[in-house]
Structure 1
């Protein structure tokens, strides 16, 4: 189930408004009270905007909360109150993120941050940094998320607001957890729990315990993990936080699955996805449906597996698309450009004032005036030239960004399509149990998965055409070992270099065929099987590859006489890379291959 591990990418929340140490029933009373206040006709527009924003924050229905926050922003814009605009934009960002609309959330966060920077409201800027960190986490850009959270924590560390400091510490721990830095995450969560002894906020307690439970689960400390998660679920469900409760329920399902308790695991998964559907949480529905698809596929309940596969694809296609990615990147660039333009405008103003001072001093001195005039003309020409060069550079940069985005999206789409084909082949192979065609279907599945792995690496690592060979080949071989239920571990000696996709794909297929052949046929009556995968850079342009097993040996002549497709495929791919392949004499099978990689 590890490939579908739950993505808690939105536990981060706005510290600016986090003052709820009330229960769910108290929150309901607050909502009812605010609705009653808004029905009166005595409120000023400023008071109405404030009340709408506060009501949006407390309202349990996300669609209603979004509408209220938008109305608050509309009134704040009418009365030209920038602080109220910033508050409303923060709330819009918060709700849009929970609805799975990350591009809209990002846009609102940046607009709020610009307002707070113009008003020089430091603590408000800190809250926006935390919200931007949430957006970066949604994009899996964990380094940037940690950077913005450290900025937020630094600001709160110098303030008297212990509650905000505690929340920033909790958020930083969650970013560390998602980035895989479990020790740093544990330190932050434990610190947040200790600080909360003074703050006494139930939500902070629930989030800290829940996230700490997830760290323990990742470390296989299942007993203490379940205890922390159960306490967090009781706390947050009582407060009406369906979003976080659903995530922690699914994490409990993961623990029960690892403990081989399928009935309990299924129960928790179904509770989680039902709760996510009730709350309209698109990303969580997508993630939980992927988990259930794998769960039922492992249990050979293929009808349910297919049902949840379709649900996953529906929500995946609605959440990930090129338009959203482009919009987010444009917003990021726009924010940085606006900041630079403000600095340039300030410098231009200073420069203009200096020119006026110089002109006042040189009036009447004709010779000096002519000299300055010539300098001015030269300077003007230089500026025009610089503007032309700047425009050309901007066009080139924009085209390169668009090219990278399109290529990344292409890799993503190819990966999705190949994964769908692999799933269909897998389902078909189960239907052909005992049939001679099953082996061909399974072999085809692993070849498709080898191709899919290339495109998944390109998409995840954000590169155009190269992937790191060591991690890629190890993951490929370990996947085959898992698929064939091998009871021993392979030995790896692989140089960690970047290889082009044109080399990665045929290399993956060659190793896939040779390792598959060993796993299927080599180890009959072998008590202590071994398999070595050695890939070293021999010369500047060549890879030296060795696949060695201690099995019963391989008769290549017999294989050719049987017209083996695998041998034909390997030979063709080696020739494609201008290489050579030899079968060395040894106890077992020893393939020796040289491939040209440039």
Structure 2
């Protein structure tokens, strides 16, 4: 578990989304007034950036606050804006930009001789360093912040900085120093009585004791932390501490208790949509069952681990990749055309000179000499252009890597937000639509994952792709039977892979939800074949099928989506009822 607890985090944890939204809306109304001074506007923009939930909007507001503060030459407002930009960029995953913003804020606070503001910047730099796995720098920054806070009256900031310092020590492997820091925060929290600080300090001290094999003390502390954080609704930390408790029981050979805690952690992570934790806890359960010789159970959780591992590898945005590839090809062709034009110009001049006759022999010789120099110059330019192209290609590869990282984060955020929203709508008619939307986002994520694994090619091999998509849905709906696959080794372009994924997603989810009521031996088969340059996809189940009334309905969102997508593919789809339901889709395979 890696986390940093800051005042920003504490505020957003204690205050609800609706409260932050109300504050942001109120500040927005004030900002519409015409009689505000530039200084007031800069300050209010920074405050609104702090409260706005959408990180892109928050970043724009913070940058506008910085621009105004720079225009009116107000260093303190500039530093506060840089501080907010650092927080937002860190939430966006741009740790390098966040680090630079924190350093700019720190330099201003040092010039203005504002120690506590300097301490806040040092604490933020420590958070950035922890995110970058640079624990040595994190420890140094957090020590500076702690030293400043110890000479102030801000007890909460002292405790939070000491808590983060303990986490940096723990992640760096300095367990004795980590234990000392966590004990200090617990001692200071006797006055503060802050449940969040108590929960994290107790839980992480328990994790330290677990590493030091002080298992009895570790169990007691982890149990206390779980109780506190579960009541606060902190599913992430609660699940991590439950898994840590399960690992202790595993060390003690208490297999049933170990299984119980790890399974509880996995269930909580699944409900909360915490994919990284689902992956990690599945791996821990697979290891536990393998140790017990329960190889069938171990294999099941190993498969689940692999599914989520593959899902988290997603790093591609097809549209941006194609734009960058096109840009590279255009640059290369323009260079080639330029060189060819130079050579053609020389050849034309040479031909005209030859026609002029022998009387112009001396002049022709001169032209040949000049032409030779031109060719050498053109070759030199061509060599330089090739070097430039190679450098651009490397730069674009780095840009693609960064772009892929952002897309992964965005898709993960969308799926997580949809999952959280579905939980808020429990029992509401809209919940099913939200869950369906999340499944569609995850189907798109699988396309990006495959593109990332298979290089820069824009074709997807259907066998592995469809199998992973369907197995992921089976795991997501806790289905207790395995699908049957008969898929030819063929590939399609990404333009076809995305609609195919969404169609299969709709059909399989519909079968899993409605087809098998009362069916004793359910089965689902996916068959893909290629005949005469046409791709044929068949999805069949042995469920209860569609009634006549249901079969005549074409106005559901799922049916409309399937119809729209098959039109996009210039294909056809048919549904028939014969001992279940059979969907047959045909489209060109090119």
Is the shorter-chain TM-score for this pair beyond 0.5, marking a shared fold?
no
Instruction: Determine which structure has greater relative contact order: mean sequence separation of CA pairs < 8 Å that are 6+ residues apart, divided by chain length.
Output: 1
TM-score, normalised on structure 2? 0.44
TM-score, length of structure 1 as denominator length? 0.44
